[in-house]
């Protein structure tokens, strides 16, 4: 998959997780889906911030402004993910936070797929998009699996912080018996 296809695939995965949450028959099942809803956007964000945003800044005519506007929704999503991550199974606030995350993700998808990615596709060559897609795919394998709203969100600081956060997250995931990636 090329650079625009990978985020779109991630979006479809998260949309399916929202449907799975709605269909869950117990608090335990809902908590399992919430853990995946926390993981998938976290794995999506770091490669986007490390690779896609710097590239878009370079190739889009008004790239710096466009990337900054696109990044504006990330802190809200990170805070919602962190709040969900901290809840226990059966917490009465789960439905409310999942609904909030659903609204935030829908807006992210609308902007990313409707504006940001089409403009990026038009500004870069197919070969560059394929190469960037490969890099994103590799970066996702080592990306953090939990939200880190206070971590740096731009290179080079992000490039240094993300591997440490990812290692810590994967240790926590194992200890808490969360889904492995």
pLDDT given at position 11 = 96
pLDDT given at position 158 = 67
Reported as a pLDDT band with limits 50, 70 and 90, residue 82 is very high
Could you read off the pLDDT of 103-140 as tens digits, one per residue? 999 999 998 899 888 888 888 888 999 999 999 999 99
Residue 80's CB is within 10 A of a number of other CB atoms, namely 24
Domain boundaries, the chain: 5-175
How large is the angle between the packed helices 126-141 and 5-23, nearest 10 degrees?
40
Q: Is the pLDDT of residue 63 over 80?
A: yes
Could you read off the pLDDT of 11-60 as tens digits, one per residue? 999 999 999 999 999 999 999 999 999 999 989 988 888 888 888 888 88
pLDDT given at position 88 = 95
Q: Which residue has the tokens 């969360």?
A: 178
Nearest CA among 92, 71, 84 for reference residue 39? 84
Nearest CA among 34, 73, 51, 65 for reference residue 128? 51
Q: Which residue has the tokens 């810590």?
A: 168
pLDDT given at position 152 = 67
* Structure token digits, residue 86: 């901290």
pTM beyond 0.85: the answer is yes
């Amino acid at each position: 998959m090329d650079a625009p296809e990978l985020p779109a695939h991630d979006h479809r995965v998260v949309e399916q997780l929202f449907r799975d949450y709605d269909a869950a028959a117990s608090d335990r099942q809902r908590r399992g889906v919430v853990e995946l809803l926390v993981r998938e956007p976290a794995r999506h964000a770091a490669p986007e911030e490390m690779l896609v945003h710097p590239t878009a800044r370079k190739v889009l005519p008004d790239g710096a402004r466009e990337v900054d506007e696109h990044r504006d929704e990330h802190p809200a999503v990170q805070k919602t993910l962190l709040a969900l991550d901290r809840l226990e199974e059966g917490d009465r606030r789960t439905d409310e936070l999942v609904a909030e995350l659903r609204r935030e993700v829908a807006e992210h998808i609308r902007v990313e797929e409707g504006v940001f990615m089409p403009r990026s596709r038009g500004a870069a060559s197919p070969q560059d998009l394929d190469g960037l897609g490969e890099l994103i795919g590799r970066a996702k394998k080592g990306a953090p699996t939990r939200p880190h709203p206070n971590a740096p969100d731009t290179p080079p600081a992000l490039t240094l912080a993300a591997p440490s956060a990812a290692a810590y997250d994967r240790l926590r995931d194992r200890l808490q018996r969360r889904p492995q990636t």
